[in-house]
Amino acid sequence: MPLLEVKKLQKKFGDLQVLKNINLSIEEGEVLVLIGPSGSGKSTLLRCLNLLEVPTDGEIIYNGENILTHKFNVRTYRQSVGMCFQNFNLFPFMTVIDNVTYAPIHILKKNKEDAVEKGMQLLQKVGLADKAKVYPETLSGGQRQRVAIARALAMEPKIMLFDEPTSALDPELVGDVLNVMRELADEGMTMAVVTHEMGFAKDVADRVIFMDSGYVVEDSSPAEMFTNPKNDRTKEFLSRVLNK
Amino acid sequence: MKVLENLNFSKAIIELLPKLLGEALHIVVITTIVGFLFAIVFGFILALGRVSKKKALNHIIILFQEFIRGTPLLVQMVYIYYVMPLFIEIFASIIGISGFKVSMGSMTAGIIGLGINYGTYISEVIRSAIISIDKGQKEAALALGFSNAQAMFKIVIPQAFRNSVPVFGNYLVMMVKDTSLMAYITAQEFLMTTKAYTAQTFLTIESYTILAGVYLAICIPLAFAIRILERRLNRGRR
């Protein structure tokens, strides 16, 4: 049974249909990378997966349960789904360590010492233990995103969603963030990643999904996707992004 | 100039200043502190109502705000002091309590008037501070598993409040000065005390100059203190 399964998902913003009949599944431990042109619906799909956007129609099955029914507990579900945003969205009025420990203390009701201990381990893991006591505004974009990853991991999620995590970064800072994500993937974390980093998709993804104007156009292994794409639209997109 | 030769500041200072710094100062300080706290709480409640998604509530609050902003503070105070007690008595007699007498203290009326008026303006400050917080902040909180209300109260509003403090400071200084309006509803604050003293002694120039000096002596250091507080709040975080 897949960890997360999306069936016939649709999303409309007013008259604009952004997602049209999306079907896909993510197995436990799998790294799924979503690629495609801007406006293709990748980010909206990802945001639907933790209900930051509420789908108009369709099903999202998590652990065998449809998360779109009224009785489903969205908050508990979100606790098991970590999310990293393009703009990091760290809490600017809290120090780095407080950012990381805030949700475990207030939602999981962990005691402060345990939360801080775990938080420091996570900061160590993303290479920022020495920044624990500073405020986010003193950090570079790459450092902020790594803190955001640590913050999401502190909730011990079953799956991590990354919404263009490196798109707002200076090119030289992208590597640090991707390395942390690579490490996570190696540890067996289930991940869904929207990105324009084709290198990352090639190396790390178990499966790559190409989306265009609200449809999943192609869903295959990275080797297949990057060497032998089937759909014309995929070919066109890949030739454009890979040869730039 | 005969008038200038006859100025008697030392007499005015010796007689008027103790009155100003006694009971009058007490009234001004208490009214400002209580009125300002009331204004912040009231403004906060109005702001929350305005950012809520309930259309009817939004409209009621907008109407109320227009009503308050479209009438002078002085008229509001006079209304609260002279008219509200009558309304309450009429209301009491309608629901069957006869002979119900209400007397509104002038300080109470001043506090209510200042609180409601300033609260209305402050609510717009808080509202715009709330909507200026990046919506990613709320999304990040939701994504971590916080409820809508928790995201609002634990993440968005603390930041909005912090951003509002400098503006609060300006309103505080304005409120100190606006306590002078309470002279018209018989409160023995600075202006009323000075007026009474002038009526007895005819030391007009001296008295009102001292009065202005007292306001300055309160407002300038207060504004200065607020600037320091503001700088503290901005240090290392935003």
pLDDT in tens, A180-197: 999 999 999 999 999 999
Chain B contacts of A155, Cβ < 8 Å? 144-145
Q: What is the mean pLDDT of residues B84-91?
A: 90
Angstroms from A76 CA to nearest CA on chain B: 7
Whether the per-residue pLDDT at A30 is higher than 70: the answer is yes
Query: Which of A75, A81, A137 comes nearest B237 by C-beta?
Result: A137
Average of pLDDT values for A26-50? Answer: 94
**Choosing among B144, B147, B156, B162, which should be mutated to test the A contact, i.e. which has the most A CBs within 10 A?**
B144
Residue B236 confidence (pLDDT) above 70: no
Distance CA A190, CA A158 (A): 7
Minimum Cα–Cα distance from B144: chain A residue: A79
Segment A89-108 mean pLDDT: 95
Using the Cβ of B232 and the Cβ atoms of chain A, whether some distance falls under 8 Å is answered with: no
How much is the CA Rg of chain B, to the nearest whole Å? 22
Contacts of B143 in chain A (CB under 8 A): 50, 52, 78, 81-83, 85, 152
pLDDT digits (tens, 9 = 90+) for A132-145: 999 999 999 999 99
Give the position of tokens 């309160």: B218
User: Cβ contacts (< 8 Å) between B134 and chain A: which residues?
Assistant: 87, 89
Tell me how far apart the alpha carbons of residues A25 and B7 are, in angstroms, rounded to a whole number. 92
Has residue A49 got a pLDDT over 60?
yes
Mind giving me the DSSP string for A81-104?
EEEE-TT----TTS-HHHHHHHHH
Per-residue pLDDT at B14:
93
Reported ipTM: the value is 0.93
Average pLDDT value for chain B: 92
B234 has a pLDDT exceeding 80: no
8 Å CB contact of A78 and B144:
yes
Which pLDDT belongs to residue B59?
A: 96
Q: Please, which pLDDT band fits residue A87 given cuts at 50, 70 and 90?
A: very high
Could you tell me which residues come within 8 angstroms of residue B105 by beta carbon, excluding any fewer than 6 positions away? none
Q: Which of A190-199, B86-95, B174-183, B189-198 has the lowest mean pLDDT?
A: B86-95
pLDDT at B202 over 60: yes
Q: Is residue A159 over pLDDT 70?
A: yes
Q: Which residues of B touch A50 (CB under 8 A)?
A: 143
Contact of B234 with chain A, judged by CB distance below 8 Å, is answered with no
Mean pLDDT, all residues of chain A: 93
Tell me what pLDDT residue B238 has: 46
- Among the partner-chain residues A79, A85, A135, the one whose CB lies closest to the CB of B140 is A85
Amino acid B96: pLDDT:
82
pLDDT band at B92 (very low <50, low <70, confident <90, very high): confident
pLDDT band at A64 (very low <50, low <70, confident <90, very high): confident
What is the spatial distance between Cα B238 and Cα B228, in angstroms, rounded to a whole number?
A: 16
Share of chain A above pLDDT 90, in %: 91
Q: What residue spans of B133-203 are helical by DSSP H?
A: 135-144, 148-150, 157-178, 190-201
User: Cβ distance B49 to B119 under 8 Å?
Assistant: no
Tell me, what's the pLDDT at B97? 80
| Whole-number pLDDT of residue A17 | 93
Q: Report CB contact under 8 Å: B136, A155.
A: no
B228: tokens are 């320091």
**Chain A residues in contact with B163 (beta carbon < 8 A):** none
Q: Give the model's confidence band at B98: pLDDT under 50 very low, under 70 low, under 90 confident, else very high.
A: confident
pLDDT at B3: 73
Which two tokens mark A219? 């869903």
Q: What local confidence, expressed as pLDDT, does residue B1 receive?
A: 67
Question: Mean pLDDT over residues A159-168, rounded?
Answer: 95
Tell me what pLDDT residue A1 has. Answer: 82
- Closest to A89 (Cβ–Cβ): which among B140, B154, B162? B140
Q: Give the Cα separation of B157 and B135 in Å (integer).
A: 12
Cα dihedral sign, B134-B137-B140-B143: negative
B140: pLDDT strictly greater than 70: yes
The rounded distance, in Å, linking the Cα atoms of A211 and A209 is 6
The pLDDT value recorded for residue B235 is 61
